[in-house]
Amino acid sequence: MVRHRHSATERKSSDKPDDGTRPARILALLRREFPSAWTELKHSNPFQLLIATILSAQCTDERVNALTPGLFAKYHGPRDFAHARPETLEQEIRSTGFFRMKTRNIIACSKALINDHDGMVPQRMEELVKLPGVGRKTANVVLGQAFGITAGIVVDTHVHRLSQRLGFSSAESAERVEEDLMVLFNQKDWIDLGSVLILHGRRTCGARVPKCESCVVSGFCPSAFHVRGGKRVVS
């Protein structure tokens, strides 16, 4: 269990009035906006999701999805990946970036699954993060999306950015952002929270040009821009 080192009241305050219900109201609106929010990584089982998530580091889901059907048709499970020729796998996943490191991690992770877990993906955070190439974000994706286990909250670049813009956290590290979110939201909502924030970050609250005028939560967002007198201003 993550130890919370600071409380929600220690975060950057919002200019918006907040009676304590703002986080829940934002989540409710985003759930309505994305009623079927789930990972966009294509997979048929927990192991495929694990490999796809490793591949998705510093890469878009679209690019990963373009190559995983062929990859999983060739490598059916941990044993196939464990015996893959590194130079061949490197070329097969080259388009995802950092392909040498990802190749090493995928092969080593597959071997660890065979040697330590009978070829099965573990369902405990402490076991998952011991696997090569697997950190808390990847572990949270697999636990939440493959097993429905709420061990934590997925914090990728979108969740990190939106957490700061929405005033949920002012932390710089993903781990601290996750801790802040775990304080603000009920555990039963952790899986949905990560999913809707990721989709909202991709569809609406972009890094460079957020679409505040069409954002369903702009009324609760301390960073929202609105057009006034022909100029974009912070609300």
d(CA 136, CA 180): 15
> Vertex 145, ends 141 and 150: CA angle to 5°?
75
Residue of 61, 102, 156, 180 with catalytic role: 156
Strands (DSSP E) along the chain, which ranges? Answer: 225-228, 231-234
Residue of 74, 116, 130, 137 with catalytic role: 137
d(CA 194, CA 158): 9
Residues whose CB is less than 8 angstroms from the CB of residue 174 and which lie 6 or more positions away in sequence, other chains included: 136, 137, 155, 156, 160
* Catalytic status, residue 156: yes
* Catalytic status, residue 16: no
Contact indicator for 52, 43 with CB cutoff of 8 Å: yes
Which residues are catalytic, by number? 137, 156
